[in-house]
Chains A and B, each alone.
Chain A
Amino acid sequence: MNALISLSVLGIVAMLSEIFNFKKFLYSLILLGLVAAIGVNVMEWGQFQLWYGMMIVDEFTLAFSGVILLTGFLWFLLVADNHQDKAHISDHFAISLFAMAGAIVMVSYNNLSMLFLGIEIVSISMYIMASTQKNDLGSNEAGFKYFLMGAFATGFILFGTALLYGATATFDIQKIGVFVTEHNSELPAIFYAGLILIMVGMAFKISAVPFHWWAPDVYTGSPTLITAFMATIVKTAAFAAFLRLFITCFSGVELFWNQTIMIMAGATILLGNITALLQNDFKRILAFSSVAHAGYMLLAVLAMNNQSGGSLLFYLLAYSISSLSAFAVLLAVANLKGNTNVQSFKGLAKKNPFLAFVVIVAMLSLAGIPPTAGFFAKYYIFTAAIANNYVGLTLVAITGSIVSIFYYFRIVIVMFEGDESTEVTVGSNTKALLVICSVLVILLGLMPDFLIGLLK
């Protein structure tokens, strides 16, 4: 909760910097503020608070808020080198901070109205961020598509919420969960209709097949900096919200929805990975890989046991930091070469061994190869799924991750081809980000027990 308050205050400070003319210090102020927010979040660990039944502060909330804050801090390190629009810097910073505040609302809701508000705070901020490059038609298109998809999905979630309210007479997710277990055999039809509609709406938000078509276009069209934000922070929030909703409300009617989610997860993994194979643009490869990773994470939701929270947390953190370092290198290369094509990575290893090393670590982690974080992330998610008898789906997921090795390693191979003589320069903040991400990826791969033990 304190993290939410500090993020909102930081956002307001960012807006005030325009009036009181301290834009010069704003960036360092935000970095300090985010470190402070991580600090207060850690201090709150172990507490349990219920805010008027609307928001809940428990270990789940604090762990996922921690992932969001850490990713947000690392993302802001990336901003220093890559933010071109200096005139609107305070607005952009304020919007991204508010998006993070919304993400924290999404992981700590205890009432469907707060889920709705959280989703909307994140989404409206992201519509603006996606279309910040006013003269670039791709950015316009991405913003518009994101808006249409987001509003459409919100409509589904809301109609589902209204039907659940009709069936249960409450918006409190814990009371809905109690209602479901008490009336397990005699739930009205509108309850099931509401469940399906909410599931469809949330599947849109996490970009699961067959509701994924918007994601590659939006991720490709948006400015790369914003794509990094969407693929990490927004995804973390959406998955945490999805897991909390299904564990709290719908675990009593698991048999009703697990087949659907199972098919969705399998299709997402296969389609995401196979389509990523066919792409030539690194940004688009990352977009499809983000779709594929959504499929793996659905396995954690399906597992529905005490390992779900921990394994999803681990997966999201591993995926977020690996993606962020990949996006950071992509931004540095794209700034120099002017495009995000895979071929623009040609010869990177010769002149920039450090960047090449970072890319190799990130790709190993995304492909799930030891000793990186991505391996244990997949390992925990697969064991959680197998513990709940999803052996077939786990085999599909393993096949998918074998396919993914091909396109992740394509980048690595391209980096060692040819010998172009241009050196890619990165600023000190980006360098810090790359070092932190790579160290974290390897550290989590070597000592995974600490993080996985947080949520039991």
Chain B
Amino acid sequence: MNQVLTAAPLSHYVLLSSILFSIGVLGVLFRRNAIIIFMCIELMLNAVNLLLAAFSVHHSDPSGQVFVFFIMAVAAAEVAVGLAILIMIYRNTGSINIETLSNIRH
């Protein structure tokens, strides 16, 4: 397993997770569908997970991989709350387009 992970140089992992993270950021900023925005947030968090695992192997230090578990658990809790809020919004407005959510500014 370790050979597989170290076969590619560290810079490739950094590059890949940076690209994934950027795709996530751009998705959050430019997509209008709330579900897709949630997916993009997950993409950002999973880019972090990949990066942490790569650095963890590189440094031969397990704490990075433990952090990955923290992120996974917390991300699940966060999205559970987020989806609950989204369902509430869908019940009230009948839409999950975030354009419908601009009533506060008056």
A236 at the A/B interface (Cβ < 8 Å)? Answer: no
* Contact (Cβ within 8 A) B93 A116: no
Q: How far is the CA of A437 from the CA of B63 in the complex (A)?
A: 44
Q: How far is the CA of A113 from the CA of B74 in the complex (A)?
A: 11
* A137, A152, A190, A220: the one within 8 Å of B14 (CB): A190
A171 at the A/B interface (Cβ < 8 Å)? Answer: yes
Q: What residues on A are CB-neighbors of B44 within 8 Å?
A: 152, 155, 158-159
Q: What residues on B are CB-neighbors of A163 within 8 Å?
A: 51
Q: What residues on B are CB-neighbors of A166 within 8 Å?
A: 10, 14, 51, 55, 58-59
* Contact (Cβ within 8 A) A158 B103: no
Identify whether the interface residues of B are mostly helix, strand, loop, or mixed.
Answer: helix
Chain A 86-104 interface mask (CB, 8 Å, partner B; 1/0): 0000000000000000000
A374 at the A/B interface (Cβ < 8 Å)? Answer: no
Q: How far is the CA of A138 from the CA of B64 in the complex (A)?
A: 40
* Contact (Cβ within 8 A) B63 A220: no
Q: How far is the CA of A155 from the CA of B59 in the complex (A)?
A: 23
* Shortest distance from the beta carbon of A10 to any chain B beta carbon, whole Å: 21
* Contact (Cβ within 8 A) A162 B48: yes
* Shortest distance from the beta carbon of A248 to any chain B beta carbon, whole Å: 18
Nearest opposing residue in chain B for A280, CB measure = B106
Near A by CB (< 8 A), chain B positions 65-97 give: 66-67, 70-71, 74, 77-78, 81-82, 85-86, 88-89, 92-93
* Contact (Cβ within 8 A) B103 A138: yes
Chain A 73-116 interface mask (CB, 8 Å, partner B; 1/0): 00000000000000000000000000000000000000001001
Nearest opposing residue in chain B for A164, CB measure = B55
7 cross-chain pairs, A with B, having the tightest CB-CB distances, nearest first: A155-B44, A166-B55, A169-B59, A162-B51, A158-B48, A141-B101, A221-B104
Interface residues of A (CB under 8 A from B): 113, 116-117, 120, 123-124, 127-128, 131, 134-135, 137-138, 140-145, 147-148, 151-152, 154-155, 158-159, 161-163, 165-166, 169-171, 190, 217, 220-221, 281
Sample of 25 A–B contacts (CB below 8 Å): A116-B67, A116-B70, A123-B78, A124-B77, A138-B104, A140-B85, A140-B89, A140-B92, A144-B34, A144-B85, A147-B85, A151-B78, A152-B25, A155-B44, A158-B45, A159-B21, A162-B48, A162-B64, A165-B52, A165-B64, A166-B14, A169-B59, A169-B61, A171-B63, A281-B106
